[in-house]
Amino acid sequence: MKLEHLSRHAIARTLAAPTTLAGAVDRLGFLQADPIRAPARAQDLTLRHRVSGYRAGDLERRYADLAIEEDFFVNYGFLPRGTVDLMHPRAGLPRWPRKRAAQAEAVLEFVRERGVVHPREVDAEFAHGRTRNWFGGSSRASTQLLDAMHYRGLLRIARRESGTRLYTVSPPHAPATDPDATLDALIDVVVRKYAPLPKRSLAELVGRLRHAAPQWAALRRAALERACARLPRAKVGGIEWYWPEGEDPSTARPADEGERVRLLAPFDPLVWDRRRFELFWGWGYRFEAYVPAPKRVRGYYALPLLWREDVIGWANLAQRGAELTAGFGYVRGSPPRGPAFRRALDDEVQRMRVFLGMEPTSR
């Protein structure tokens, strides 16, 4: 087993043949969400490589018709409904102060009466005022309360309108009868999405499950030990690597579109684990949207650029009306020579235009 086997396997398994929207979310197991649109939201940028004919915003438009939910997993995003059922009810959370609990009960009754509510309706009805948010800014207290009620399983996301979450009452969840088996199943979701995984990355992801299922925080260490014992593994370059049962990275073959360029979302499964990224491709990718502009190295929303089986650089795209501007950077300072790369890059930019609704048909 060599490192190139692992990187090839990572590419082949996550960039398999495109499928339906429901099939892609099910295959991914978890789709991380992000509100920034540059030129599209991360969830849309991730899905465009995995769903046939996908267009920006399709997930939002079709969400209510799919058996998926928005919820917090290792990050916030979209999951199959069955996976969400594994995480709830989230027990053992700190009790709310009396005033907060009364506010939540009043809002819950309001949502029951309305069916589906927009946050501004709740704010207009209860005038909870404003409060400090987690990153130091100010936001509506009603919005924070709705978020907290959603996390606690009192509300679910009915749909979105222009990116804003609309809430409805969540049905009750039955408690797990076997916490160990349920936690193992959640770890399997993590492994299926991000494999092959270095042991340290696997441990960190299992640690993040304390947000998905806080009721089993004390069981995570034992669950990690079980995972390390049952999952296929190999030591490569002094690092223990893990992947799902039934897979063999040593037999991975190049992707069927070996001459294709792909611009990847900052949270794409191929990119998310920055430790693995650096091991595979020899340079460090960082998400710089929240970095002060003078300190950015690669740009506000740099999209890693995959060419063949190597991430060789990045792109910054911006849509301004009917124009799509693109700036590229390369780890080695310049793009690959020859017409094959230039054609492939032009094709990817054209596909991006179609994805954004800027062209009637794809190439």
Residue pLDDT, tens place only, 45-99: 999 999 999 999 999 999 999 999 999 999 999 999 999 999 999 998 999 999 9
Confidence band, pLDDT 50/70/90 cuts, at residue 363: very low
- Look at residue 242 and tell me if it is in a domain: no
Please, are residues 211 and 72 in contact by the beta-carbon 8 Å criterion?
A: yes
- pLDDT confidence of 142, banded at 50, 70, 90? confident
315 assigned to some structural domain: yes
DSSP, residue by residue, 264-299: PPTT-TTTS-HHHHHHHHSS-----TTS-GGG-SS-
Mean pLDDT (whole number) for 330-357: 96
Q: Which two tokens stand for residue 18?
A: 């495109």
Q: In whole angstroms, give the CA distance from residue 297 to residue 300.
A: 9
Residue carrying the six token digits 């398999």:
16
Q: Which pLDDT score is estimated for 250? A: 93
Q: What is the CA radius of gyration of the chain?
A: 22
Going by the DSSP 8-state scheme, the letter that residue 117 receives in this structure is B
Give the bridge partners for 168, in sequence order. 156
Distances from the Cα of 163 to the Cα of 137, 166, 207, 254, angstroms: 20, 9, 29, 37
Which residues pair with residue 78 across a beta bridge? 31, 70
DSSP-based three-state secondary structure for 251: helix
H-assigned helices in the chain:
3-14, 21-28, 42-47, 58-62, 81-87, 98-114, 119-126, 141-151, 179-194, 199-212, 220-230, 274-281, 339-355
Please say if the pLDDT value at position 311 is more than 80. yes
In sign, the C-alpha dihedral spanning 147, 148, 151, 153 is: negative
238 in a structural domain: no
The token pair at 84 is 């969400």
pLDDT at 133 over 70: no
What's the rounded mean pLDDT across residues 140-162?
93
Amino acid at 282: G
Give the domain-ending residue among 145, 169, 193: 169
Burial class (CB in 10 A: 0-12, 13-18, 19+), 118: middle
303 is in which domain, residue-wise?
A: 261-355
Among 169, 195, 214, the domain boundary falls at 169
Is 350 inside a domain boundary? Answer: yes
pLDDT at 352: 97
Which of the listed residues 169, 204, 232 is the one where a domain comes to its end? 169
Report how far residue 316's alpha carbon sits from residue 228's, in angstroms, rounded to the nearest whole number: 38
- Residue 1 falls within a domain, yes or no? no
Residue labelled with tokens 């490569």? 236
Q: Is the pLDDT of residue 361 over 50?
A: no
**Three-state secondary structure call for residue 219:** helix
CA 277 to chain centre: 16
What three-state secondary structure class fits 46?
helix
pLDDT in tens, 180-218: 999 999 999 999 999 999 999 999 999 999 999 999 999
- Give the residue from 168, 165, 160 showing the smallest Cα distance to 57: 160
Cα–Cα dist 192/355, whole Å:
26
Percent of the chain beyond pLDDT 90?
A: 88
Contacts of 262 (CB under 8 A, 6+ apart): 15, 49, 305, 306, 348
Residue matched to tokens 């609309």: 166
Whichever domain contains 162, its CATH number is 1.10.10
Dist. CA 326–CA 343, nearest whole Å: 15
Does 185 fall in a domain?
Answer: no
Note whether residue 89 is domain-resident. no
3-class DSSP string for 183-214: HHHHHHHHHHHHCCEEHHHHHHHHHHHHHHCH
Q: Tell me which residue has tokens 């907060």.
A: 100
For residue 89, whether the previous peptide bond is cis, meaning omega lies within 30 degrees of 0, is: yes
Domain count, the chain: 2
- The total number of residues written for the chain in this structure: 363
- Say what the pLDDT of residue 135 is: 40
| Residue 297: inside a domain | yes
